[in-house]
Amino acid sequence: MSFSVGEVVAVRGTNVTLRVFDESNLETLFFDGKKYKGVSIRQYIGVKRGFSLIVCVIEGEYLDENRFENDDNRRRYIRKVEVKPIGFFEQSQFYDGVKLMPMIKDKAYLLNESQVIQVFSQGAEDDFSIGKMLNEDIVINLPWQKIFNSHIGIFGNTGSGKSNTLTRLYSELFSRYKSNMTNKSMFLLVDFNGEYTGSQLISDEGEKKSYRLSTKNMQGDKFPLPSSELWNTEILALLFQATANTQTPFLNRVITKREKYENKPDSLLDYVISTFYSCFVNSAQNKEFLIHLKVIASHLNYPALSEKLDKIFWYSKDEKFACKPRQGSHWEWFDSSQGFTDNLRPILDGVDVSQIDEFDELVVRINVQLLRDLMHGYVQFEHIQPLLKRVEASIRDLKKIFEIKEAADADFKLLNIVSLKGCNQAAKKIVPLLLAKMFYQKHRDSINNPPDKTLHFIIDEAHNILSQQSSREHEIWKDYRLEMFEEIVKEGRKFGMYLTLASQRPADISPTIMSQVHNFFIHRLVNDKDLFLIDSTISTLDKMSKSLIPNLSKGSCVITGTAFDLPLVIQVDYIKEVESRPYSDDVDLEALWGLKDAPDCGAVTH
């Protein structure tokens, strides 16, 4: 037990008032070889009650208006502090919650460092730490088992240190336990700004894979996409934003036709040839069909066929297709079986469909299916035309960022970084959703009960994909995107899938998603909407900790959630090694403009 610094003078419910002695006002005290922090706001103090020590947090301080004169006729004021019980020690063991209440005249004592550590280590047995308590300057171990077994939110304005916290948190995890995670866990980080594509988080290339995706050219990395995921109606409807009533059933017919003849050799070529035959050898030919036939030819990558179709035109007089004759030759017609066999079939027989990729095959099958549906009156062209335009526009980008494989599991490492820095806005919207859906459904369908594997999905700058504010996309598609992540955040825990969200604007993120986040690392936030959301969403955050959030310094954060009995305010250790911290340092203008030598380490990480 330390020395007494005061006594209880009032108890009103859970609000307790202490009279403290003058000498306790010092910043640091030493007693019996141990270091103590003096009495001040947000410090912790113990009140002796029987064999228990009630732990209280100091919330306020004032001078009693009832002053008195001592023997030397000098006026003095009584210093009082307001405290609130948060737990208690019994037999040297700390317990959270209020079991006992102080009584008047009970003595108050300072807590030494070992007692403070015991209060805030939250039962953490391993030496897992990312920083020190802000006031006490004491290293606190975090209960990493409870943190990573939950959904995590890391929030703060730009420059407040959230990227440093994200990096510090996962770097500590990997440095300690990566050898134990092999074949048991996988981490997927969606990186909108390319901050983690170096040696951050894990420096061992054998445990980390970075995919630098780019829609600007074909030189970027390609993310492996299993063939089964591409030939999936739900995925295609997602990729091309298909409407539910007409376009999604149309895509389903494309998939069904492919599955029906998938094991038949040359089935695609036979399908293409029969479609060409139906379009040309038809008593009621349609001149619009030629446009789609040319699209098919271009994606078959067979120049001879494209050249032939370029020569074919619509002969208005007879309302059928014809080919301009060469000098001295006869006109070519295609309205009979013999005409088709003589003039076009030999060219079609030379097409090698095995040389085209699956994205080209998809475009071919979509146009073939459209021609057949139009001929049989199954669809109206104006209903499907918007889908065709989205397919053509999307395929160009998808080819640049995805590589279709039969199986992609072997390509993934323990940590997989997907950088979207080089992608356009459309890709930045669709890729995270596609990855979430693909990995979540596969993980959900493959795990046992209870889960024997975990999947950790990390999204930096999460407001880019989880915002309800976007007005540039169709409402139906936006709802689908949010519903997908809401399902993961609500149902993923039971399947061993966990989200980590880092964002500058938590108020932009769906309230449903925010309400399901378990543990929070909150850096400085000054926007009223963000502060209101934090206030209304996080029930474990006390009033005093909330008041600190707008004024936190760089790297400081409030930690609270289901893994913590009490909120913590810590200073996260700054990562000094340039190669180990994310690419988000402030620009040093003095060094940039040659006013001083460039430093070895950059500025504070965002």
| Choice between 449 and 194, residue whose per-residue pLDDT is larger | 194
Q: Is the pLDDT of residue 265 over 80?
A: no
* Cα–Cα distance measured from residue 48 to residue 110, given in angstroms and rounded to the nearest whole number: 11
At 169 the pLDDT is 92
Across the range 370-374, mean pLDDT stands at: 87
Among 58-72, 101-115, 400-414, 524-538, the least confident range: 58-72
**DSSP three-state, residue 233:** helix
Across the range 51-66, mean pLDDT stands at: 83
At 154 the pLDDT is 93
For the chain, first and last CA: distance in Å?
Answer: 43
Residues 6+ apart with CB under 8 A from 519: 146, 147, 150, 151, 152, 153, 559, 560, 561, 562, 563, 564
The alpha-carbon radius of gyration of the chain (Å, integer) is 34
Q: Which of 124-128, 277-281, 381-385, 417-421 has the highest mean pLDDT?
A: 417-421
Q: Is the pLDDT of residue 374 over 80?
A: yes
* Cα–Cα distance measured from residue 409 to residue 111, given in angstroms and rounded to the nearest whole number: 53
List of E strands, 161-245? 185-191, 208-214, 223-226
Residue-wise pLDDT tens digits, 545-578: 888 889 888 889 999 888 887 788 889 988 888 8
* Cα–Cα distance measured from residue 397 to residue 565, given in angstroms and rounded to the nearest whole number: 48
Inter-helix orientation angle 475-491/425-446, to 10° = 40
- Phi and psi (nearest 5°) for 175? -65, -30
| Burial class (CB within 10 angstroms; exposed 0-12, middle 13-18, buried 19+) of 414 | buried
Q: Is the pLDDT of residue 281 over 80?
A: yes
Across the range 439-455, mean pLDDT stands at: 84
Q: Is the pLDDT of residue 606 over 50?
A: no
At 70 the pLDDT is 56
Q: Is the pLDDT of residue 500 over 90?
A: yes
Across the range 340-358, mean pLDDT stands at: 86
At 328 the pLDDT is 57
At 203 the pLDDT is 77
The residue type found at 410 is A
pLDDT band of 252, cuts 50, 70, 90 = very high
Residue-wise pLDDT tens digits, 396-442: 888 888 888 877 777 788 899 999 988 888 888 888 888 888 888 88
Residue-wise pLDDT tens digits, 14-32: 889 988 887 677 767 777 7
Tokens 């400081």, residue? Answer: 556
| Mean pLDDT computed over every residue of the chain | 83
Paired tokens of 68? 């008195």
Q: Is the pLDDT of residue 110 over 70?
A: yes
Predicted structure pTM score:
0.81
Across the range 146-152, mean pLDDT stands at: 91
Give me the percent of the chain exceeding a pLDDT of 90.
9
Residue-wise pLDDT tens digits, 213-237: 988 877 778 888 888 888 888 888 8
Across the range 460-476, mean pLDDT stands at: 71
* Cα–Cα distance measured from residue 370 to residue 248, given in angstroms and rounded to the nearest whole number: 13
* Cα–Cα distance measured from residue 80 to residue 70, given in angstroms and rounded to the nearest whole number: 18
Residues 6+ apart with CB under 8 A from 301: 355, 356, 360
Q: Is the pLDDT of residue 74 over 70?
A: no
* Cα–Cα distance measured from residue 351 to residue 354, given in angstroms and rounded to the nearest whole number: 9
Q: Is the pLDDT of residue 605 over 50?
A: no
For residue 512, how many other CB atoms are within 10 A of its CB? 15
Across the range 579-583, mean pLDDT stands at: 81
**DSSP three-state, residue 318:** coil
Helix or strand (DSSP H, E) at 55: strand 52-63
128: Cα separation from own chain's centroid: 24
Alpha carbons within 13 A on the beta-carbon side of 41: 8
At 238 the pLDDT is 80
> Which whole-number Å values give the CA distances from 135 to 131, 249, 560, in the listed order?
12, 62, 17
* Cα–Cα distance measured from residue 6 to residue 108, given in angstroms and rounded to the nearest whole number: 5
At 76 the pLDDT is 65
At 457 the pLDDT is 93
> Which whole-number Å values give the CA distances from 151 to 257, 311, 539, in the listed order?
41, 61, 16
| Choice between 468 and 114, residue whose per-residue pLDDT is larger | 114
pLDDT band of 604, cuts 50, 70, 90 = very low
At 522 the pLDDT is 92
Among 8-17, 180-189, 581-590, the least confident range: 581-590
* Cα–Cα distance measured from residue 504 to residue 160, given in angstroms and rounded to the nearest whole number: 9
Select from 244, 214, 275 the least CA-distant residue to 383: 244
Across the range 290-311, mean pLDDT stands at: 87
* Cα–Cα distance measured from residue 390 to residue 219, given in angstroms and rounded to the nearest whole number: 23
Residue-wise pLDDT tens digits, 131-142: 888 877 788 888
Helix or strand (DSSP H, E) at 410: none
Q: Is the pLDDT of residue 35 over 80?
A: no
